Amino acid sequence: MKRFVILAVLIATLVTVSSVTGVAAQGRNREWIVFSDASVTNSAVTTANVQIAGGRIRQNIPQIGVSIVESTDANFSARMAALGLVAAPNRRIPTSRPEKLYKATNLTPASLRGQSNPLFPLQWSLTAVKATDGWREGRRGAGVQVAVLDEGFYLNLPEVNWNTRLATSFVPGEGVQFNNPDPNNQFSHGTFVSSIIAAKDNDFGTVGVAPKTEIVPVKVLSEQLGYGEDSWIINGIIYATLAHVDVINMSLGGECDFNQPPNPDYDCGTPADIRATQRLYNHVVRFARQNGVTVIAAAGNESLNFDTQRNLIELPGGADGVIAVSATGPVGFGFNKSADPRVPAMYSNLGRKLIDFAAPGGSDILYYKDQTSVCTVAGITEPCFVFDWFIEPAQVESSPSGDLVDFYFGIGTSFASPTVAGIAAQIIGANGGHMNPDRVEQQLRRYAQRLSPIAFYGDGFARAD
């Protein structure tokens, strides 16, 4: 038997990196990701080239001509450039954690089980993007695989269609399964994101945008260390591509500032380093798309306008070929079920330079002057503002009497991105699978609702029909 608990998170934010805060990468003893962007198939990185420049190859990825290199030479990147190669710093990307957690007061096992997805009445996002219309037309993502690049996953959660055969981790010393030694920090971002895409259509909890889609869990962020590395993310993209998945979702990333004073101890590094990192992601995403993979990423939660702040770039969301997604949400859904779900979220990044589509991510608590009022939806009583958020399972605990499944409420562009990934899975499944990414984007644009301002909505508010 299963026991059930629901928890609420104040904000489950996007995994971010900021050159402004000056988080050190590897200090003076740095790692670099070296490649030639002249081709995505022919390796141009040789041991001799790297040794001439004062480096040591730690890993070769020959399928795409990328090498992870260690060097203590402060001029290593310039030496690589002189040899016609690009050296991007291997950044460390801090993992943001939820700010607050609390248990709901009256969620019972009965309220989590029913004839059909008993928490569906709380999932305003599914109606907003017309996922249900797609279901009625038979578009449920059958035969589609979405790789979720994130932190650890609760693979023992039976409500997600996990592909455990392809599941893998690029975090050294850590498996795919979520394993944070901190007992007070058991929220799994990767599990939450995966549930948005592909929670099963059954008599338990929530349902995903594409409930018959298979999730390939790829761990590229460490819940134990509190960060990920660009090299892990790049490895994850290449692995998922070679595994022939249909979609990659990355609810991770962060901005780099070209105006940041040059300092090799900053994660983003110098302007030349930032341009190299941009070229790196362009290179790897091009490889993915050329092999039929649609790549989707969160736009970020820093309330930045990338059209007016041209000194900034979001990566990987701002790389060529990545579909970057901003976030929207209703205000007052708890007491008004017709509340508009397309209201721009105050935390979401924007800018036509960055944004391709907008999708539900949840509304900010700051819309509420009174944060103590409570509402009841589908028999669940909580502070009214949480009903403007996403609710998904994000924790599994084993106990003698059965598994304890914890549900969370959360907001962020982290959750807008998998919403679009689920829509893409519907589209690809209806096409018979393995669809050209250009055609997937064309279909996304065809279904999207055009809204203003374009700087926020891009090609439109994403919809499945």
Domains of the chain (ranges, CATH numbers): 3-22+93-457 (3.40.50.200), 30-90 (3.30.70)
When mean pLDDT is compared across 16-30, 185-199, 252-266, 426-440, the lowest value belongs to 16-30
Distances 100 to 27, 71, 304, 410 between C-alpha atoms, Å: 32, 41, 24, 10
Mean pLDDT for 213-223 is 97
Residue 153 and residue 177 in contact, taking contact as beta carbons nearer than 8 Å: yes
Instruction: Using pLDDT thresholds of 50, 70 and 90, give the confidence band for residue 113.
Output: low
Total-model pTM: 0.93
Residue 229 and residue 443 in contact, taking contact as beta carbons nearer than 8 Å: no
**Number of other residues whose CB lies within 10 A of the CB of residue 135:** 21
Q: How far apart are CA 278 and CA 262, in angstroms?
A: 17
Please report how the helices 230-242 and 271-290 are oriented relative to each other, as an axis angle in degrees rounded to 10.
Answer: 10
Most confident of 8-17, 22-31, 397-406: 397-406
Per-residue model confidence (pLDDT) at position 400: 67
Judged against a pLDDT cut of 50, whether residue 351 lies above it is answered with: yes
Q: What is the pLDDT of residues 32-75, one digit of tens each?
A: 999 987 655 545 567 888 888 889 999 998 888 899 999 988 88
Distances 259 to 96, 262, 332, 353 between C-alpha atoms, Å: 24, 8, 40, 18
Judged against a pLDDT cut of 60, whether residue 110 lies above it is answered with: no
Mean pLDDT, all residues of the chain: 87
Q: What is the pLDDT of residues 65-74, one digit of tens each?
A: 899 999 988 8
Residue 20 and residue 258 in contact, taking contact as beta carbons nearer than 8 Å: no
DSSP SS3 for 425 = helix
Q: How far apart are CA 299 and CA 317, in angstroms?
A: 6
Residue 460 and residue 328 in contact, taking contact as beta carbons nearer than 8 Å: no
Q: Which two tokens stand for residue 403?
A: 């598994």
Total number of residues shown for the chain = 465
Per-residue model confidence (pLDDT) at position 29: 53
Plot region of 270 (φ>0 → left; ψ -120 to 50 → alpha; else → beta): beta
- Give the end-to-end CA distance of the chain in Å, rounded to a whole number: 38
Q: What is the pLDDT of residues 292-346, one digit of tens each?
A: 999 999 999 999 999 999 999 999 999 999 999 999 999 999 999 999 999 999 9
Judged against a pLDDT cut of 50, whether residue 99 lies above it is answered with: no
Instruction: Using pLDDT thresholds of 50, 70 and 90, give the confidence band for residue 263.
Output: low
Judged against a pLDDT cut of 60, whether residue 348 lies above it is answered with: yes
Task: Give me the DSSP letters along 118-173.
Answer: TTGGG-HHHHHTTHHHHHHTT-S-TT-EEEEEES-B-TT-TTB-B-TTT-EE-STT
% of the chain with per-residue pLDDT over 90 = 66
Per-residue model confidence (pLDDT) at position 52: 84
**Number of other residues whose CB lies within 10 A of the CB of residue 449:** 14
Q: How far apart are CA 465 and CA 458, in angstroms?
A: 18
